[in-house]
Structure 1
Amino acid sequence: MIVLLGWVSLIVVLVIVAVVAYHLIGIYVALKRGADHLEKLAGGLTAIRDNTAPLNGRVDDINVGLSGLIAPLLAANGNLAAIVKVAGSR
């Protein structure tokens, strides 16, 4: 009887160790995947920073140019509104 209980205890211990090892391996794999994705994200963000750096000086010039277009665009909008008014009265 003692031998049987010894074998049952050994089997239960081995099953518990196998289950814990399985879950620990799963946690390791999940953490490894997360680290890989974060590494790729960091590389992508670095590439975005490097590729958009030349735009810093040009954005101000673009804003000045767009500010100069406000008056002509508003005039064109007024003209289009007048055309719609005339076309809608028919």
Structure 2
Amino acid sequence: MIATLGIISLVVVLLIVLVVAYHLIGIYVALKRGADHLEALAGGLVAIRDNTGPLNGRVDEINEGLTALVAPLLAANGNLAAIVKVAGTRT
């Protein structure tokens, strides 16, 4: 009887150890995957920073060019509005 209880206890303990080990391995794998994804994300962010660095000096030039285009575009918009108005009254 004692030998049977000892074997049953040993089997139960072994099953508990196996279940805990299985879950710990799962946690390790999930953490490893998360670390790999974060490493890839960090590499991508560094690449974005390096690739957009040359734009810093150009943004002011682009803004100045767009500011210079405002008046001609508004004039063209007024001309197009006048054309639409004339075309709308003839139909």
2:10 is aligned with 1:6: no
Q: CA RMSD in A?
A: 0.8
One-letter code aligned to 1:72: P
1:43 matched to which residue of 2? 43
Whole-angstrom CA distance in 1 between matches of 2:86 and 2:6: 100
Q: Map Cα deviations across residues 23-77 of structure 1 (whole Å, 9 max, x no partner).
A: 1000000000000000000001001101111110001000000000001111111
Summarize the alignment of residues 1-90 of structure 1 with structure 2, pairs less than 5 Å apart: 1-89=1-89, 90=91
Whole-angstrom CA distance in 2 between matches of 1:3 and 1:84: 100
- What TM-score does the superposition give when structure 1 sets the normalisation length? 0.95
Deviation at 1:88, TM superposition (A): 2.0
How many residues are paired up?
90
Whole-angstrom CA distance in 1 between matches of 2:22 and 2:84: 72
Whole-angstrom CA distance in 2 between matches of 1:70 and 1:60: 16
One-letter code aligned to 1:3: A
One-letter code aligned to 2:63: N
Whole-angstrom CA distance in 2 between matches of 1:79 and 1:73: 10
Whole-angstrom CA distance in 2 between matches of 1:51 and 1:82: 45
Q: For structure 2, which runs of at least 5 residues remain unmatched after alignment?
A: none
**Deviating runs (4+, > 6 A) in structure 1?**
none
One-letter code aligned to 1:5: L
